[in-house]
Structure 1
Amino acid sequence: MTALTHTGTKKERNEKDDRTRQEAVPDVLEVSQLPTSKLPNFPARPLSIQGVMDLEREMLWSECGHEKPLEIDSVDAHRAQEYSLLAMLLSRSPDAATLKRIAKLGGDATPLGLAHLALAQTAATASVERVAREYFTLFIGVGRGELLPYGSYYLTGFLNERPLARLREDLRRQGIERTEAQAEPEDHAATLCEIMAGMASGQFQIPDIMQRRFFEKHLASWIGRFFADLERAEAAEFYRPVGSLGRLFVETETEAFMLPTRAEARNREET
């Protein structure tokens, strides 16, 4: 998974620097280091996403330096889990324990629920070695992988173009930065899903309307096409249902973001 730093305001940065010097603990959101016990108890939904509960340790939570939100509604909790699952699978090849957890995903008769069931069924028969080879062929390759999961590539045909610069500008305004150890640019699909997980979970405390603008500006115009390409990729076997899940989830998010935000709904009620 990628590593992101939430820098905060100047005052917050100064306070954090003082605390870090005292505690000698880096304030980095490195999800692979986060224990399950640090996570809140999300309410279970008895249909399509219940199995993602076992993947909570992949969520974006800081071990120090940031306060967790006091509460999070079930819709945003499940959104965060979906984004976190996609981010994890796009950032690296899953190990045996992860495949075993994914194989426990439940689902209902909705398109998204069926996509969870298809992914679970595929994970149940997948081998770590075969999935690792598939991941390499799809995303790394000799020279390049079959797919290039970058916003700049999908929007311009080239890497590291203006869409990446605009994304970095927006992330900088929110105090979110890539750590020096992270080689992938921020417009990688895994990184963007990770950022959306942080927003949905409340780790990056950003208003709903800003979440919507971020999604519309940096994901909506291309990431659905990427997931559709992954769904059809020649080398995809385990990752074919990942593509289906991602495509359907992005469609759901797109429709949801067309609805009024909580603040907009309250304003309408007051007027």
Structure 2
Amino acid sequence: MMADEFAVPGDDAAGDRLTEMQDAPTGGADLDVGPEDRDRVALYGLLASGLQGPVGQDWLDVVSGLSGGAGDLADAIAALAKAASEADPKKLARDYHDLFIGVGRGELVPYGSYYLTGFLNEKPLALLRQDMRRLGMERDPEVKEPEDHIAALCQMMAGLIEGEFGDGSATAPSRFFRAHLATWAPYFFKDLAATDSGAVYPALGRLGQVFIELEDHADALFAERRGAV
């Protein structure tokens, strides 16, 4: 999927634009999604594509051209773009292995169950699978990792925002975010930002940290408005 350009969430300056990231998950859908939600989809897609496995030169080339936004989000995007422009894919593959795979276990364990309970495949994963069935999401049989991997959850959020899953309402992504990301993703991205594994993954962690904070704030406002109706 390639779009032209889009405004960054929370950006009040018309004309401050962020060039679109390849491979944001759209499922080929051509849905009536507003500019701000397209931004959210692309940012979730960027996080997912950067964390689902070692990234290649194509990913780095696209990310190195990203710019735009305002405030902390703009700073995080610029830092990631700079890190990507200077990165070596072979070094990044080693960094990814050390961070998330390791010998026995990586430095970080990017699963909701682990962050919430200290163990894999616990109740948070069971609850996620219930919601996946309810929303019409199916696990890819080729993927061996549990569904509460941070990259998978970011992909699911992108699909929910686009209306690819669920009933297409604004409440579906809000409830999913609150149940399956808000509870632990801020801590994961904070930990990722604090690692010393090169420059790309800490920068990706900082971008995730800032973006999830914006999402959390926006979701709280959405819940307030919903309660006032």
TM-score past 0.5 threshold? yes
What do the CA deviations read for 1:68-101 (whole angstroms, capped 9, x no partner)? 42x1100110000000000000101111111011
Superposition pairs of residues 1-271 of structure 1, within 5 angstroms: 36=1, 41=3, 44-45=6-7, 46-47=15-16, 50-51=18-19, 53-55=20-22, 57-62=23-28, 68-69=30-31, 71-205=32-166, 206-260=168-222, 264=226, 268=229
Equivalents in 2 of 1:222, 1:114: separation in Å?
23
What do the CA deviations read for 1:34-57 (whole angstroms, capped 9, x no partner)? xx3xx6x4653243x612x142x3
Aligned to 1:33: none
Equivalents in 1 of 2:135, 2:38: separation in Å?
21
Query: Residue type of the partner of 2:117?
Result: T
Structure number with larger C-alpha Rg:
1
Q: Which runs of 5+ in 1 are unaligned?
A: 1-35
Cα 1:145/1:169, change in 2 over 3 Å: same
Cα 1:240/1:43, change in 2 over 3 Å: closer
Aligned to 2:10: none
Q: Which runs of 5+ in 2 are unaligned?
A: 8-14
Does the CA-based 8 Å contact 2:24-2:44 persist in structure 1?
A: no
Equivalents in 1 of 2:170, 2:34: separation in Å?
13
Does the CA-based 8 Å contact 1:43-1:74 persist in structure 2?
A: no
Query: SS in structure 1 opposite 2:98?
Result: helix
Query: SS in structure 1 opposite 2:6?
Result: coil
Query: SS in structure 1 opposite 2:145?
Result: coil
Cα 1:109/1:211, change in 2 over 3 Å: closer
Equivalents in 2 of 1:109, 1:58: separation in Å?
21
What do the CA deviations read for 1:79-128 (whole angstroms, capped 9, x no partner)? 00000000000101111111011000103441001100000000011011
Equivalents in 1 of 2:119, 2:147: separation in Å?
15
Does the CA-based 8 Å contact 2:186-2:209 persist in structure 1?
A: yes
Cα 1:153/1:106, change in 2 over 3 Å: same
Equivalents in 2 of 1:178, 1:102: separation in Å?
28
What do the CA deviations read for 1:152-207 (whole angstroms, capped 9, x no partner)? 00000000000000000011111111022110111000000000011122222432
Which segments of structure 1 move beyond 4 Å, counting only runs of 4 or more? none
Query: Residue type of the partner of 2:27?
Result: W
What do the CA deviations read for 1:207-241 (whole angstroms, capped 9, x no partner)? 21121111111110101100000011232521011
Q: Percent identity?
A: 40
Equivalents in 2 of 1:78, 1:200: separation in Å?
10
Query: SS in structure 2 opposite 1:256?
Result: helix
Query: SS in structure 1 opposite 2:41?
Result: helix
Provide the aligned C-alpha RMSD in A: 2.1
